[in-house]
Amino acid sequence: MRAALDEVVARRVNAGAAVPAFTCYGAGTALAVVGAAESLRLPVILLVAPSSAAAGGGPRLISTLRHIADDARVPVCVQLDHAKDEALIRQGIEAGADAVLADGSHLSPEDNAAFVRRVRASADVVVEAELGSVPGAEDRAAVQETDLAGKTDPATVGAFLDASGAQLLACGVGNVHGRYRGTPRIDWPLLARIRQEAGAVPLVLHGASGIPAADLRAAAAAGVGKVNVNTELRTAMLAAAEENLGRCRAAGEDMLSLTGAVTAAAEAVVREVLTTLAGAAAVPT
């Protein structure tokens, strides 16, 4: 069912929980994500990577995800992730995205805020911003040093949020996209400081793949309202495809069985993350 992303996140934050968001490269992944969310009766967010949105079938992928989201028995939002380009954002919203990460993290804080402000003024969708930066690529799982993470300067948060009007804030607190070298080290004092500076604006933790469940729970308890996952889902789906390919080929090129195995692997990851983030008061919505 359709629901405003900021309201869904606010409700879960009040319950001491966070809402996970999963990158979907196709309808099959979205069906797995929504199926897992429905089985736990929890809300979820479908993310579209900017590379997918900009590809030939991008608008159709987004409109397909829109349909899957609207048809779901739980609140599901469709967000265009890490969009740096206003034309791509317009196209994504026209196709059915109801939220966007207007990613100006490569700009100065002033230009970043102006970019986010323009996106907010141009469309009636929920707008997330990123301040500081989360290193690593969105679609490729290269190993990143957690220490190199571009941490958010808490002193800039209040003015940035005032100037940008962002409704959610992605921040750098030691998190990276892709794989962590060694154990991820979240900067908890920094997260607490950013939480304080951000007031009522929910924080977003990108690069959740590889962060231990206890840390994800601690992040939700520390006021993170949305958690983005991509790599972990890709790893599980590719492993399931590899594991089942020979068997399905030998069984008369049984495509249904192969996609079933891949979907089951994705669902297992999504259920685990949803359960981890469901909070002490895991009240289904």
Active site residues: 81
Please state, in angstroms and rounded to a whole number, the distance separating the CA atoms of residues 34 and 54.
23
Q: Is residue 231 part of the contact set for ligand 13P (CB under 6 A)?
A: yes
Of residues 77 and 208, the one with the C-beta less far from ligand 13P: 208
Largest CA distance in the chain: 61
What's the rounded Cα separation, in Å, for the pair 225 and 168?
9
- What does the per-residue mask of binding to ligand 13P show for 7-36, with x meaning CB under 6 A? ----------------x-------------
Q: Is residue 208 near ligand 13P by the rule CB under 6 A? A: yes
Q: To the nearest whole angstrom, how small is the minimum distance from the Cβ of residue 170 to ligand 13P?
A: 8
Rounded Cα–Cα distance for residues 147 and 126 (Å): 31
Q: Is 228 in the site for ligand 13P (CB under 6 A)?
A: yes
7 with 190: CB under 8 angstroms? no
> Quick check: 161 and 150 in contact, CB under 8 A?
no
Q: Which is nearer to ligand 13P, 46 or 248 (CB)?
A: 46
CA-based nearest residue to 279, from 235, 218, 232: 218
Stretch that binds ligand 13P, among 65-73, 102-110, 183-191, 227-235 (CB under 6 A): 227-235
- What residues have CB less than 8 Å from 189, skipping those under 6 apart? none
Q: Taking contact as CB under 6 A, which single stretch among the options 89-97, 102-110, 119-127, 228-236 is the one that binds ligand 13P?
A: 228-236
Question: For helices 58-71 and 27-40, what crossing angle results, to 10°?
Answer: 20
Footprint (CB under 6 A) of ligand 13P, residues 70-109 = 81
151: its two tokens: 């941490």
Q: How far is Cα 113 from Cα 119, in angstroms, rounded to an integer? A: 10
Minimum CB distance to ligand 13P, residue 267 (Å): 17
Q: Does 133 bind ligand 13P (CB under 6 A)?
A: no
Give the residue, chosen from 229, 237, 265, 273, that forms a contact with ligand 13P under the rule CB under 6 A: 229
Nearer residue to ligand 13P within complex by CB, 46 or 258: 46
Rounded to whole angstroms, the Cα distance separating 88 from 274 reads 30
Asked if 226 touches ligand 13P (CB under 6 A), the answer is no
Closer CB to ligand 13P, 82 or 195, in the complex = 82
**Beta strands per DSSP E along 14-75:** 19-23, 44-48
Please identify which residue in the block is written with the tokens 């990577």. Answer: 49
- Decide whether 179 or 193 has the Cβ nearer to ligand 13P: 179
Taking each continuous run of H as one helix and of E as one strand, the counts in the chain are: 11, 10
* Under rule CB under 6 A, residue 207 binds ligand 13P: yes
The answer to the question of residue 206 lying near ligand 13P (CB under 6 A) is yes
Member of 52, 112, 133, 230 binding ligand 13P (CB under 6 A): 230
Instruction: Return residues touching ligand 13P (CB under 6 A).
Output: 23, 81, 177-178, 206-209, 228-232
